Amino acid sequence: MHPMLNIAIRAARSAGSVITRGFENRDDLVVTAKRDHDYVTKIDKDAEQAIIEKIKQSYPEHTFIGEEGGVVQGDDTFKWVIDPLDGTTNFIKGIPHFCVSIALMYKGRLDQAVIFDPIRGDLFTASRGAGAQLNGYRIRVGKQKDLNNGVFATAFPFKDKTQLTEFMPKFTRIFAQSGDVRRTGSAALDLAYVASGKLDGYFESGLKPWDMAAGELIVREAGGLVTDFAGGNDPMQKGEIVAGNPRVVQQIVKQLK
């Protein structure tokens, strides 16, 4: 295992311990609205701090980009992109579907990735050029050949509902041709599920780098294709993503266009 991936796993498990303790004591949660329909708790912040502290023990000079703490400037050669609790609304409501997401970018390229589901104990990992794993076993994207009978995931633009007018026709076209479409509330886990063949594809817009960085690498290393809505190869810059095996992605992009 790559040494930096090993540190990322330790950091993810450390954050997972913070999250599971918080989940067991949700009656004590103090919830703050960052903006409309977008929430943060002390658990989010404590989990992010646990991740940064664990990584800094080995790599104190690196840069950190976190959802809650912003940028902690350091050596830009190594950038850790962190979502300490992806699926905060699920967490608040007691829905056991959320995760820790950590990615390392080396010289601007995704290099290491961890997505950890602390409730199920599922650990998704990837190193650039070395494949993707779930709990130590190699994973691959599904073999779905088209949208028909496939199961896909997305999210509605709940933070800016003015975008519904533009989004719904795209959703309707894909939904009409597919077996079903899920809306789970965790972008990172959706991507991990695509990588492991649990979902056949995923599409969403309005995302931040920490929502998709780890998932993007894990999908790619599992043999999948990741693009933006136009089929381009830089979804983090666009804030939109399509993921799945190449055949499925091509057909989703066609509908989105």
The domain of 133 spans 3-138
Give every CB contact of residue 144 below 8 A, 6+ residues apart in sequence.
Answer: 150, 200, 201, 244, 245, 247, 248
Q: 70 has which bridge partners? A: 66
Tell whether the model's pLDDT for residue 31 goes beyond 90. Answer: no
Predicted pLDDT at 27: 79
212 and 250 assigned to the same domain: yes
- How many domains would you assign to the chain? 2
Rounded to 5°, angle at Cα 205 from 189 and 163: 130
The pTM (predicted TM-score) of the whole model is 0.94
Other beta carbons less than 10 A from residue 244's beta carbon: 29
**Residue 146 belongs to some domain of the structure:** no
Q: For 67-90, write each residue's pLDDT tens digit.
A: 888 888 889 999 999 999 999 999
pLDDT digits (tens, 9 = 90+) for 127-173: 999 999 999 999 999 999 999 999 999 998 877 778 888 889 999 99
Closest CA to 101 of 196, 229, 15: 15
Shared domain for 124 and 192, answered yes or no, is: no
Residue 45 sits in the same domain as residue 66: yes
> Rounded distance, CA 31 to CA 234, Å?
33
Band of pLDDT at residue 26, cut at 50, 70 and 90: confident
Q: What integer best gives the mean pLDDT of the chain? A: 94
Q: Does a structural domain hold residue 31? A: yes
Examine the domain organization and report whether 160 and 185 are in the same domain.
Answer: yes
Give the Cα separation of 105 and 83 in Å (integer).
14
Q: Please compute the mean of the pLDDT values over residues 197-226 and round it to a whole number.
A: 97
pLDDT at 37 over 60: no
Residue 145: inside a domain, yes or no?
no
Q: Is residue 32 part of a domain?
A: yes
In a domain, 107, yes or no: yes
Beta carbons within 8 Å of 93's beta carbon, 6+ residues apart: none
Looking at the fold, whether 156 and 129 belong to one and the same domain comes out as no
